[in-house]
Amino acid sequence: MKYSQIQKMAKNMGINTYQMKKNDMILSIQRAENNIECFGTVRVEHCQELSCLWREDCVSLAESSKSSWSKC
């Protein structure tokens, strides 16, 4: 999901997005919705939340993190 879409969603929930990174906004949205604040965490390795709004971005983030670690 694009940054601007996430920012709009967060603002509609009353979240102050000033100088927030995308990951932090998503975690704030998860918190506001009383969901597990799991975006970008190791939980993605065994996540079964197939209908999660953030799943595509989260899996993509995890894959890019893994490839970064494998280059070390």
Distances (CA, A) of 35 to 28, 48, 49: 10, 14, 11
| Number of domains into which the chain is organized | 1
CA 33, CA 28: separation in Å to the nearest integer?
9
End-to-end CA separation in angstroms for the chain? 29
Q: Is 53 helix (H, G, I), strand (E, B) or coil?
A: coil
pLDDT digits (tens, 9 = 90+) for 26-68: 999 999 999 999 999 999 989 999 999 999 999 998 888 766 5
- Is it the case that residue 71 has pLDDT exceeding 80? no
pLDDT at 23: 95
- State pTM to two decimals: 0.86
